[in-house]
Amino acid sequence: MRLLTQSTLISSTILLLALLISGFYIFDQVSQEVRDEIDEKLLNRKLEILASLPLSGSSISATPIATDFRIDSISASTFSVLQEHFEDISIYELIEKEHEPHRQLLTKFEWAGHYYSLRIQTSLLDLEDMGEVIAYSTLWVIVGLLLLALLVNRFLQRKLWKSFYITLDQLKALRFDQSDSLQLPHSTIKEFNQLNETIEKLTAVNERVFQQQKQFVENASHEIQTPLAIALHQTELLIQNPDLKANDAQALELLTQQLERLSAMNKTLLLISKIDNKQFVETRSVDVGEIVRQTVDEYAFLAEQKNIQFQLTIESPIVVTVNEHLLDILVRNLVRNALVHSVSQGKITIQQVDRSLRIENTAVAPVDHPELLFGRFVKQSDKPQSLGLGLAIVKSICDTYQFTPIIMLQGKQFIISIHF
Q: Are residues 8 and 147 in the same domain?
A: yes
pLDDT grade, residue 379 (50/70/90)? low
CA distance 386 to 210: 30
Q: Are residues 179 and 130 in the same domain?
A: no
Buried b (16+ CB within 10 A) or exposed e, 36-75: eebeeebeebbeebeeeeeeeeeebeeeeeeeebbbeebe
Phi, psi of 355 (to 5 degrees): 60, 25
The Cα-based distances of 26 to 20, 226, 230, 415 in angstroms read 10, 88, 93, 70
Give tens-digit pLDDT for 257-289: 777 777 777 777 777 777 777 777 788 999 999
Residue 63 lies in a domain: yes
pLDDT higher than 60, residue 22: yes
Residue 164 lies in a domain: no
Q: For residues 202-206, give the mean pLDDT.
A: 81
Q: Are the CB atoms for 229 and 263 separated by under 8 Å?
A: yes
Strand order in the sheet with 69-73: 69-73, 114-123, 98-111, 85-93
Residue 167 lies in a domain: no
3-state secondary structure of 358: strand
pLDDT grade, residue 383 (50/70/90)? low
Boundary residue ending a domain (276, 293, 323): 276
Residue 292: CATH number of its domain: 3.30.565.10
Q: Are residues 94 and 27 in the same domain?
A: yes
Q: How many domains, in total, are found in the chain?
A: 4
Residue 163 lies in a domain: no
pLDDT mean across residues, the chain: 80
Residue 350 lies in a domain: yes
CA distance 154 to 38: 46
For the beta carbon of residue 295, count every other beta carbon within 10 angstroms: 20
Q: Are residues 128 and 94 in the same domain?
A: yes
Residue 407 lies in a domain: yes
DSSP, res 363:
B
Give tens-digit pLDDT for 320-360: 998 888 899 899 889 988 888 888 888 899 999 889 999 99
Instruction: Provide the domain limits for residue 268.
Output: 210-276
Q: Are residues 73 and 19 in the same domain?
A: yes
Q: Tell me, what amino acid is at 151?
A: L
Global confidence as pTM: 0.51
- Torsion sign (Cα): 377, 378, 384, 390: negative
pLDDT grade, residue 65 (50/70/90)? very low
Give tens-digit pLDDT for 208-234: 877 777 777 677 666 777 777 788 778
Q: Are the CB atoms for 69 and 120 separated by under 8 Å?
A: yes
Q: Are residues 230 and 356 in the same domain?
A: no
**Cα angle 139, 141, 143; round to 5:** 70
